Amino acid sequence: MSIISKVGKKSIKTRTLNSIIHFVLITGTLTMIYPFLLMISFSFKSAVDSTNLKLIPAFLYQDEALYKKYMESRYNEESSRLMDNYPGSWISFAEVSLPEHINERIYQDFQEFIAEYQYDTYSYCIAEHYGRGVYPYAQRLYRKELRKENNNSLVDFNNKYNAGAMSWGEIVVEEKDIFSRNYVSSTDSYLGRFREFKEQSPQWMRYYINPDGYFTNVLLIPAFGEDLEAFNLENNTNYVSWNEIRLSSECPPADDPLYKYWLNYARDIINVHHLSVKKEAEPEYQSMLLEKYNYVQTLNKTWNSDYQSFAEIHIPEKMPDTGAMVEDLTFFIQNLAQPEHIQIHSMANDFRQYIANKYTDLNILNEKYNTQYQNFNEIAFPTAELDYYNFKERKSEIRREFLWRNYAMSLDQMLSDAKSLRNTGIYVLLSILLAITVNPLAAYALSRFKPRFSYQIILLFMLTMAFPAMVMGIPNFLLLKKLNLLNTFWALVLPAAADGYFIFLLKGFFDSLPRELYESASLDGAGEFRLFWQFTLYLSKPILAVIALGAFNAAYRNFLFAFIVCQDQSMWTLMVHIYNLMQRASSGVGYAALVIAAIPTLMVFIFFQNIIIKGIVIPMEK
């Protein structure tokens, strides 16, 4: 029967009250939906757009926002690598913008140039291979190959490469500064396997370091505090931007403004695999080796070679990755080689020479490129063209990658630690089982036998609701520790096995059941257990379902208490595992994990909303 009659509903006051109630309920619903939608939005984001509070991520509909995220991922979240390729332009990914006046012909020429010259792995990095708390595309692809090769066995991987990885997530190579003197590559062991992956990568997965930009960004810009005017004033130059500075392959004349910087760069900074020494320096090189080793046999033992005399030793055209020979040649370059004998191998200069050979006439080049170059040396390394056209050709794939990337890492972490899922499942099942067993037994005793102090007992049960759960956390922890139950499922389920509110709810429901039913069953010979099991619980299915749902929600979302009483990683529940993930993952991955974790409770709400409504209505009726 409706509380308000049909006639009463037509009243203006009633309609106004009804509208206000619905408005308040809808507003309350929106205040719950908005944070959830915001959490979903943040689950697609990364550091560059994490401060954007829009419900719909901008990269879904704005190319510039997508380009920022693409550049952040392409340069592996290393802003210093971005600065190497764009000297004096951007110092963070938030400043990145879509380039203007890009000529596709330059991009096509560079692709032809790369196909012809085939540069080794000392000239480029793998894009989208590592980042702060994310699993980018290339990294996932690399691990997928390793899993397949090792039959998804981490033990086989560790044995094969003499590694000690505890999880697949630890397997990553971060190549940050490949032009640096300290950078080392190898064809052996695990580094060799990564190098193989790097060499087999497609062109779009590579980003080539700008030799001119690296020289400028590492040496010149820091020396002058990014002040180009100060550099021009001191060196009597007139550069308009840092990007105009070119690194020559040969040592400039002593009176050239860049002479001292070039020499410092060649001797102490750049990786020796980008250097060579002219044949004219071989007598000095041989003299150095003779002075160091005295006997060629000593050199052969150190170098693992078979020279008959020092006169047979020549400066290698291509140096090995590591070894004593590399160390000796590095020492020679750094301390003894004449400046005019040192050469820097620059991809930028090779590209300029390639363009000069292809077009021969500067006027033809300016017409094709729509430029006004005065000489071929003004041609900039085509970093912007490479980044932009790789973006343009793969825009849809890039957008899909950012929609999936954070969830890929979250799922990988959750599924890789199946123990947390198993523990959560066991914990939830035990909580439900105890909730629909212990609470009905207590409520049945109070309702059926009506003990003398039943009112005081119910009041005591209700008083437990006056204290926050965490107030009881420390006493529960100390008690469980004394009973030696920490890091067990008993520690999780026993403190919540009996719930004062559930007992109060059940007692009220049991009191409403007809007493004649029990009297009739007793006359027919039914025992107390049969009365409880076959009659009481059977008639109490709706309220038991409400209690089961309450127990499920309480157990599934339990984090702090589960973290306190089960600190052993093998006993972590899903919520504790997600908390641990959020400590080392990016914020976007953390939000993605929370969205995934919210799905079970959302499904429960959708499919069991009638039971939830009964949980609201039944207590009001009683």
CA-closest candidate to residue 326, choices 208, 454, 182:
182
pLDDT of the residue at 509:
82
Is residue 360 a part of any domain in this protein?
no
Does residue 434 sit in the same domain as residue 543? yes
- Rounded Cα–Cα distance for residues 367 and 498 (Å): 84
Q: What is the pTM of this model?
A: 0.85
How far from 466 is each of 49, 201, 471, 500, CA to CA, in Å? Answer: 43, 62, 10, 11
CA 270 to chain centre: 31
Does residue 340 sit in the same domain as residue 479? no
For residue 343, list its beta bridge partners: 250, 276
Does residue 469 sit in the same domain as residue 586? yes
Q: Which residue segment(s) compose the domain that 487 sits in?
A: 417-621
How far from 364 is each of 107, 372, 373, CA to CA, in Å? Answer: 17, 11, 11
- Rounded Cα–Cα distance for residues 486 and 422 (Å): 18
Give the pLDDT mean for 86-112: 91
Does residue 397 sit in the same domain as residue 425? no
Is residue 248 a part of any domain in this protein?
no
pLDDT of the residue at 611:
65
The 8-class DSSP code of residue 381 comes to P
Give the pLDDT mean for 396-400: 95
Is residue 362 a part of any domain in this protein?
no
Does residue 184 sit in the same domain as residue 144? yes
Reduced to 3 states, what is the DSSP secondary structure of residue 239?
A: coil
- Rounded Cα–Cα distance for residues 608 and 74 (Å): 45
CB atoms within 10 A of CB 605: 12
Does residue 90 sit in the same domain as residue 162? yes
> Does the structure show a pLDDT above 50 at 1?
no
How far from 42 is each of 31, 51, 67, 407, 588, CA to CA, in Å? Answer: 17, 9, 18, 12, 6
**410 vs 528, more confident:** 410
> Does the structure show a pLDDT above 80 at 249?
yes
- Rounded Cα–Cα distance for residues 589 and 133 (Å): 8
For residue 270, list its beta bridge partners: 180
Is residue 254 a part of any domain in this protein?
no
- Rounded Cα–Cα distance for residues 312 and 286 (Å): 9
Give the pLDDT mean for 459-475: 77
- Rounded Cα–Cα distance for residues 331 and 328 (Å): 5
Q: What is the pLDDT of residues 501-534, one digit of tens each?
A: 888 888 888 888 888 777 787 777 777 778 788 7
Does residue 597 sit in the same domain as residue 468? yes
Per the CB < 8 A criterion, the answer to whether 386 and 107 are in contact is yes
Does residue 400 sit in the same domain as residue 421? no
- Rounded Cα–Cα distance for residues 440 and 437 (Å): 6
183's tokens: 């950078």
> Does the structure show a pLDDT above 60 at 371?
yes
Sequence-distant (6+) residues with CB within 8 A of 52 are 45, 58
CA-closest candidate to residue 574, choices 471, 428, 355, 442:
428
Is residue 519 a part of any domain in this protein?
yes
Instruction: Quote the number of domains for the chain.
Output: 4
For residue 590, the domain's CATH number is 1.10.3720.10
Is residue 31 a part of any domain in this protein?
yes
481's tokens: 């520790």
User: What would the 3-class secondary structure string for 559-594 be?
Assistant: CHHHHHHCCCHHHCCHHHHHHHHHHHCCHHHHHHHH
Per the CB < 8 A criterion, the answer to whether 310 and 286 are in contact is yes
Does residue 87 sit in the same domain as residue 184? yes
- Rounded Cα–Cα distance for residues 424 and 617 (Å): 30
For residue 276, list its beta bridge partners: 343
Is residue 227 a part of any domain in this protein?
no
- Rounded Cα–Cα distance for residues 193 and 319 (Å): 20
Sequence-distant (6+) residues with CB within 8 A of 305 are 299, 325
The rounded mean pLDDT for the chain is: 88
Does residue 323 sit in the same domain as residue 337? yes
Q: How confident is the model at residue 620 (pLDDT cuts 50, 70, 90)?
A: very low
134's tokens: 């994310």
Q: What is the pLDDT of residues 137-186, one digit of tens each?
A: 999 999 999 999 999 999 999 999 998 888 888 888 898 889 999 898 88
Sequence-distant (6+) residues with CB within 8 A of 110 are 351, 382, 385, 386
575's tokens: 């919520």
pLDDT of the residue at 618:
54
How far from 35 is each of 39, 43, 52, 55, 364, CA to CA, in Å? Answer: 6, 12, 14, 9, 59
Is residue 356 a part of any domain in this protein?
no
Continuous H helices in 270-311: 282-293, 296-303
**137 vs 462, more confident:** 137
**176 vs 328, more confident:** 328
- Rounded Cα–Cα distance for residues 365 and 354 (Å): 12
Give the pLDDT mean for 390-408: 94
CB atoms within 10 A of CB 566: 22
Q: Is 224 left (phi over 0), alpha (psi -120 to 50) or beta?
A: alpha
57's tokens: 């991520």
- Rounded Cα–Cα distance for residues 408 and 450 (Å): 57
Q: What is the pLDDT of residues 574-618, one digit of tens each?
A: 999 999 888 888 999 999 999 999 888 888 887 777 766 665 555
Q: What is the pLDDT of residues 3-23, one digit of tens each?
A: 555 655 667 777 787 788 778
Continuous H helices in 304-417: 324-335, 347-359, 362-369, 383-393, 395-416
- Rounded Cα–Cα distance for residues 366 and 553 (Å): 69
CA-closest candidate to residue 602, choices 36, 41, 43, 54:
36
Q: How confident is the model at residue 319 (pLDDT cuts 50, 70, 90)?
A: confident
Does residue 67 sit in the same domain as residue 98? yes
- Rounded Cα–Cα distance for residues 200 and 190 (Å): 16
Q: What is the pLDDT of residues 34-78, one digit of tens each?
A: 888 889 999 999 999 988 888 899 999 999 999 999 999 999 999
CB atoms within 10 A of CB 473: 15
Does residue 424 sit in the same domain as residue 516? yes
Q: What is the pLDDT of residues 422-461, one digit of tens each?
A: 999 999 999 999 999 998 988 888 888 888 777 788 788 7
